[in-house]
Every structure is written in structure tokens, then in C-alpha cells.
Amino acid sequence: MAQQRLRAVVTGGASGIGLATARLLSDGGAAVAVLDLHAGDVPAPLLGIRADVADDESVRAAVRSAVDALGGLDILVNNAGIGAVGTVADNPDDQWRRVLEVNLLGAVRTTRAALPHLRGSRHAAIVNTCSFVALTGVPGRALYAASKGALHALTLAMAADHVTEGIRVNCVNPGTVDTPWVDRLLDRADDPAAERARLRARQPTGRLVTADEVAAAICYLASPAAGSVTGTALAVDGGIHGL
């Protein structure tokens, strides 16, 4: 019997982990739409749709366009995110709101818009990109850790809420991943080479995680092969949290 082509939406898929995930899903035969601020950067055959996950109307319109173009939806990857440094005292309320708007509420909005369509799928799956920082006391990351910790908790709650509808919900917790995000972080360091060496040494494996490694984990969790996997967090972190 011919297998139905899976249809996927990946937020933040114009760069880094999201782009690697969108490519891997597409290479595996899925039809993939990328929702991103920089949709113009998305290479074919991926379908780039401009969206700001911090804006509800933008998300609803983009999910609608994606579902129309793909003919339905099976997989949602909530991956768009922004960084934040500093302690609780360093970040004023508006900065807290900005990061939570993207990292937490972005996933809430996209999920809300996608759920009616996922209910029509026989292989519905949501995967959220969280972070080892949510589970590990990393100095100077209070706001980012709180945003990703909340997304982690939301993953479990959503898994419980939607399990009887046949919608699985999981997350990945990457370690430090070699993406443009880390390049930007290093650009701001006094000594970028020394900072890169420090980040590498922090991982028990002695190297940064690759975007392809995180993408492989996301694609597994999103695939029918993970049909009995829901409410879990998969660490792809070089052992930084577990060891």
C-alpha cells in the first residue's frame, strides 16, 4: 500500500537546527513549510512562509497558508527561539516579556493554530526545541532557562492533554549546538576562540553538538517510528546534563 506523504511545519526553520530539521524531513519524503521571520532565506523544495511567532495574527495566517499548500498537517516542530543573557536583576520586565513571547508563547500560538489540522492526521506529532539550560544551573541564563523550562513543562502537559486524540508531544534538549546562534554569541565575546574552547570543554564529549544531530532526534520523535513515544524529553547534549 502506498504510504501517505507526511506534511510538516517547522518554525525557525530558516537557520541552524530548524533548517537542518526541515531538510532532513524533506529528504525523508515529507512536504515541509518553514515559518520564519527570514522566510526568504529558505531553500527549495522547502516552502518558506514569513511569520513572527510573537504575533498571533501572523502565526494564524502562516499556519493557514502552510496547511493550504501542504494539503493538511501531520508534524509541527516548535523550534523558533531567541537567546537572552543575564541574571534576574539584569533583565527588566520588557525583556522578560520579549523572550517569553517568542520562546514560550510562540509555541503556544503555533500549536493552537495547528491543532485543528493535526486532529485530521493519522500520524500527528509535535516536537518542541527546549534546551539543556532549562535543566542545568548555567550562570547568567536566568531568563532563557525559565523560558525553556516552561516550554519543557508545557510539552508534558500538552502530551497529557492530547494523547487520546492521537497527537504525540515530545521535546529535545540540545546542548551547545554549532549554529549561527553560537557564532553570534562568540562574536560578542572578548576572546571568541577561548570562549569556543570553553563551550567545547563544557560538553563531556569535548565538542559542540551538530545541528544535524539535533535534527535527527527531532525527526525520530516526529516520525511514525516513535508512535508510542509521548511526553518525553530527548537530550542531545553531549552528556552535559546527564553525566
Among 21, 129, 170, 223, binds ligand NAD (CB under 6 A): 129
Q: Does 226 bind ligand NAD (CB under 6 A)?
A: no
Q: Does 82 bind ligand NAD (CB under 6 A)?
A: yes
Q: Does 85 bind ligand NAD (CB under 6 A)?
A: no
Distance of CA 131 to the CA centre of its chain: 9
Total binding residues toward ligand NAD, as defined by CB under 6 A = 28
Among 25-33, 35-43, 67-75, 226-234, the segment contacting ligand NAD (CB under 6 A):
35-43
- Cell output for 133: 539550560
Look up 220 and say whether it is catalytic.
no
Cβ nearer to ligand NAD, comparing 12 with 126: 12
Cβ nearer to ligand NAD, comparing 123 with 172: 172
Cβ nearer to ligand NAD, comparing 82 with 121: 82
Q: Does 36 bind ligand NAD (CB under 6 A)?
A: yes
> Which amino acids are annotated catalytic?
144
